Amino acid sequence: MEKEQIILGINGYSKRVHDASACITIDGELVAMAEEERFTRKKHAFGQVPHNAIAFCLDRAGVQIDMVDSMTIGWDLDKFLGNTEQGPPREQDLVDLYLPKSKFQYSKNPSVEMVPHHLAHAASAYYLSGFDDSVILVMDGQGESQSPSVFMGNGDKISLVKEFPIEDSLGYFYEGVSEYVGLSHLDAGKTMGLAGYGDPKFSIDLIELSQDGYAIGIVQPFQSELDLQQEITNAWKDYLIDAFGPANNEVVIYDSRKGKFKKQTDFPQRYKDVSASAQQVLEKVVQHLVNAFSKDLKRNLCIAGGVGLNCSMNGAIVREGAVNELFVPPFANDAGVSVGAALYVSNKKPKSRMESSSLGPDFPNDTVVEALDSFGVNYELFEDIGREVAALLAQGRIVDWFQGRMEAGPRALGNRSILGSPIFPENHQRLNTIKTREQWRPLAPSFLAEKLADYMVDPSESPFMLRAFKVKPEKVGEIPAAVHVDGTSRAQTVTEKANHLYYGLIRDFEQLTGVPAVMNTSFNQGHEPIVCTPEDAIRTFFSSGADSLAIGNVLVRKG
């Protein structure tokens, strides 16, 4: 019998790298994946090495390090660090960094393979898409020396078509806009939401389209040691200040109720309009790239990189009709390059299209009960927890929902979620308050997949909540809490095959209310990562305004 090919995929490093993660693939099948932030409780895991994620993946897959054929890294660290004082790392240094003997036991080193960052992004999308061929757009801040990149996937092969210099980064463009309007460079999702309140009336004229792409040339020469993020985002801020006036700034105020300072930002209409204008430019440039590299033929399209999390852009691409199908992996951000690196080195496409991102830890009921008992919490057991929660949602209750394996990627998709009814308009405010989010930010519904067409214009599969749809005007009144100010909704489609329990809950909710959708936002607060363990869930529940916690077959109520 031929030996199984086992690959450990990694993203993370002690400098600059973020969204640290790890995965295990066996014969090209992704069997476990998790992000380091979920274990350390430090969002984005900046500068972290994913020791906890590695340990989980090995344990979940039942794999010892001595069984691992290759340790793959989603960066060419030789190129990324080669011009620094640190210099390129030795292979043994990398083994010691990722698999320290103080934490892991093994007798032989796995081989180490580094996959260029954008190639790893491309593989994370294409190999999981189920496509036999596809255009692949990678758009983020930057790779080792490029941003963005265009690849072509055919069969098991991925080939580079074109790469753009870092000064043409669409990720850094959007980060610069985010900082200009008064948000953080980490708040691209907020900027996208703010755009819905604006009028795209401003001309951002630095981006010049051409037959084979586009060019910006916002800043040079380059001075940064490792990357160009700060230089380029600052250059964009300077341009926007010259063009549209002073940047918006956060105000720090003292919150006497909580006994600490907090940041607060108001958004005059000008900044909403700039956000809308930037969103329009992003969509125009990306659509131009799609048209330029699909050779006037409808092709499948994969998108990876942090820009791929822009749901409004993805929805616009589909509505434009220039591609047959669009696939964006649930971990389009840098967490996904651990998966892409492993799949690329395996050179084996998974047997089917990815339908679920439930690749992380899960916990049996006895572990849940043990955690609840340790907190001294009263609870009830239910044979059909989904039906009980559906009834609570129909009554207007907000329920924290912790079930099955934790999702990979920044979106909660029905396993680590806070749920509410989209029927009650006030639930929009309640959920944002529970999440300690700005009230103007949109919230998303999870639909029974077969019912999406009843509510959305030009519906399509959206299992990872990564595209926005126009809501049919006559249906807005049925799901008011889930419709953004611009008439769109970032809907998730749920199938029984992908998530039997969550699908059953939504079906039960439909039987009670006539609406085949529930509100779904990630189970976390503020700047915390999504909850990972039962202890995380219990602490977060009791520190928030949710009414109940459904964890396994157990229901905890307040009051």
Cα–Cα distance for residue pair 74/336, rounded to 1 Å: 9
Q: Which residues pair with 38 in a beta bridge?
A: none
Pairing of β 157-163 and β 149-154? antiparallel
Cα 508 to the chain's mean position, in Å?
A: 28
Answer yes or no: are the C-beta atoms of 431 and 545 closer than 8 Å: no
Q: How far apart are CA 239 and CA 233, in angstroms?
A: 10
- The H or E element spanning position 303 is strand 299-304
Amino acid at 215: A
Active-site residue, from 18, 117, 118, 121: 18
**Is there a contact between 354 and 506 (Cβ–Cβ < 8 Å)?**
no
Closest residue by Cα to residue 509 from 489, 522, 488, 494: 494
Q: Position of tokens 């519904």?
A: 445
Residues 6+ apart with CB under 8 A from 4: 26, 27
Helical segments of 395-453, H only: 426-434
Across 416-446, b (16+ Cβ under 10 Å) vs e yields: bbbbbbbbbeebbebbbebbebeebbbbbbb
* DSSP reduced 3-state for 40: helix
Distance between CA atoms of 406 and 96, rounded to whole angstroms?
Answer: 28
Strand partners, 420: 519
428 catalytic per annotation: no
Task: Return d(Cα 74, Cα 21) in angstroms, integer.
Answer: 10
Report d(CA 292, CA 299) in Å as an integer: 12
Are the beta carbons of 164 and 146 closer than 8 angstroms?
yes
Main-chain phi, psi angles of 161, to 5 degrees: -105, -45
C-alpha–C-alpha distance, residues 114 and 128, integer Å: 20
Q: Is the peptide bond before 100 cis (omega within 30 degrees of 0)?
A: no
List the catalytic residues: 18
